[in-house]
Amino acid sequence: MLPDRAVLAENLKLSLQSIRSHMLRTSLTVLIIAFGIMALIGIMTAISSIEASISSNFARLGANSFTIRNREMRIIIGGGGGGQAKEYRRITFEEAEAFKDRFDFPSLVSVSTFGTGSTVVRYRSRETNPTVSVVGSDENYLVTTGNELDRGRNFSPRELQFGENVVIVGAEVAKTLFPNNEDPLQQFVSFGNARYQVIGVMKGKGAGMGFSEDQRCVLPLITVRKNFSRPRMNYTITVSSSDVVEMESALGEATGLFRVIRGVRVGEDDNFDIARSDNIAQALIENMRYITMAASLIGMITLMGAAIGLMNIMLVSVTERTQEIGIRKALGATRKIIKQQFLAEAIVFCQIGGVLGIFLGVLIGNIISIVMGNPFVVPWMWVTIGVVLCVGVGLIAGYYPAAKASKLDPIESLRYE
């Protein structure tokens, strides 16, 4: 008897010969497996890219940042209850400024408010789409939000104190209004009911999570209070601790101080919400598990259909090659060798289809991701799972046809037409 390694090599050789001699059947079998794996890997690639985008967007704020707001941050994806997010009374300008003045922990504090979420910015005959947001803040805004200046400067103390009409624009706004490498600095743009002098341009960061700071205009806080005034304006406080190790201490001190400023009595619940940037990212990724579970189920159902199709094709192959099986048995092939041959053939079919499916899945998943503005990723864990699944599908789908082939009577097989 041939040693096991030699038998395996012989079975692989016979499998490849069978594949070459039945190209139509091979193509159909490979496509069945490829579409099953493509569905699974494609969905998982898109999900992995979304998770990478979430991590990237919130990582820029750093693990040492947190935000104080008047509305609870609650993220629910893929159904599930959880109720509505709690909303507390607004944070006033006086409360926000009092916190900034009195918070003496080693950190940077920024106070901001939205002027508008959709405006058109104009420069001469050029204008942006009505998707530019306007935010008012202070000298610490760029640091606490993870932004950097590409050119120009930050707000001066005088501009912040008197609310002068100066603006720091996002990269996309500058690109739209000042194409062909025009210098936007010291130029005047208009939006709302006023003109503003451009003193800075932020570095581009791209879009993500449904928003883009590249399409944002930042004004001094007092300027927004004057030019975008409305009743009951609400303010947000962002704190960036100087040391991530001291985050818990910073959170505790910030909570205690703002409770005093808001007049919360001992024993009463906080009437504000504090959200850590890294916790928000983790909450989003955690809620993605519902989508991952649903996608996995869809992929497994598709693979089950592929396994049934492969088993049917293998049974047809056994019937067509009955005489070949009889000849091999007459020459001394045992049941075990015949079974191994057909199992090897099924696994080879699956691996060829699996490689094609993985390639198409990664390609299609990343095309979807790029269209959504997310990064290119290769989900290596799911690629490995895909290879293992192909072996499993080959064993499951090929076992019954292989067992049937091994049990054929050699005399009857030689007579078969």
As beta bridge partners, residue 137 has: 220
Cα 106 to Cα 50, 65, 69, 103, 247: the distances in Å are 34, 12, 21, 9, 10
Secondary structure E strands in 64-193: 65-69, 107-119, 122-123, 126-127, 132-137, 149-152, 166-169, 188-191
Half-sphere exposure of residue 225: CA atoms within 13 angstroms, side-chain side? 18
pLDDT 10s digits, 89-144 = 899 999 999 999 999 888 889 999 999 988 999 999 999 999 999 999 999 999 88
The helix (run of H) or strand (run of E) holding residue 171 is helix 171-177
Amino acid in position 360:
L
Query: What was the pLDDT predicted at 56?
Result: 61
pLDDT of amino acid 337: 77
**Those residues with Cβ within 8 angstroms of residue 18's Cβ, 6 or more apart along the chain or in another chain:** 317, 321, 345
Predicted confidence (pLDDT) at residue 83 exceeds the cutoff of 60? no
CA atoms within 13 A on the CB side of 31: 6
First to last CA, the chain: 30
Number of neighbours of residue 251 by Cβ within 10 angstroms = 16
Instruction: Please state, in angstroms and rounded to a whole number, the distance separating the CA atoms of residues 153 and 161.
Output: 17
Q: Which position has the higher pLDDT, 349 or 76?
A: 349
Please compute the mean of the pLDDT values over residues 264-284 and round it to a whole number.
77
Comparing CA positions, the residue from 113, 91, 131, 92 lying closest to residue 219 is 113
Paired tokens of 383: 């690629």
Q: Which residue has the tokens 């590249």?
A: 214
Highest mean pLDDT out of 13-17, 198-202, 323-327: 198-202
| Listed ranges 48-52, 120-124, 358-362; the one with the highest mean pLDDT | 120-124
Paired tokens of 379: 């989900």
Confidence of residue 60 (pLDDT cuts 50, 70, 90): low
Alpha-carbon span 136 to 128, nearest angstrom: 19
132-137 and 216-220 as β-strands: parallel, antiparallel, unpaired?
parallel
Is residue 258 over pLDDT 50? yes
What average pLDDT score do residues 18-40 get?
76
Residue-level pLDDT at 123: 95
Using left for φ > 0, alpha for ψ between -120 and 50, and beta otherwise, residue 47 falls in alpha
Reported as type and span, the H/E element at residue 161 is: helix 157-162
Cα–Cα distance measured from residue 390 to residue 352, given in angstroms and rounded to the nearest whole number:
9
Q: How far is CA 405 from CA 4, 196, 318, 329, 332, in A?
A: 20, 82, 6, 11, 15
Q: Identify the three-state secondary structure at position 234.
A: coil
Under 8 Å between Cβ of 149 and 142: yes
How far apart, in whole angstroms, are the C-alpha atoms of residue 169 and residue 164?
15
- Does residue 61 register a pLDDT over 70? no
Number of Cβ within 10 Å of residue 250's Cβ equals 22
8-state DSSP, 215: G
Least confident of 95-109, 145-159, 275-289: 275-289
CA–centroid distance for 12 within its chain = 40
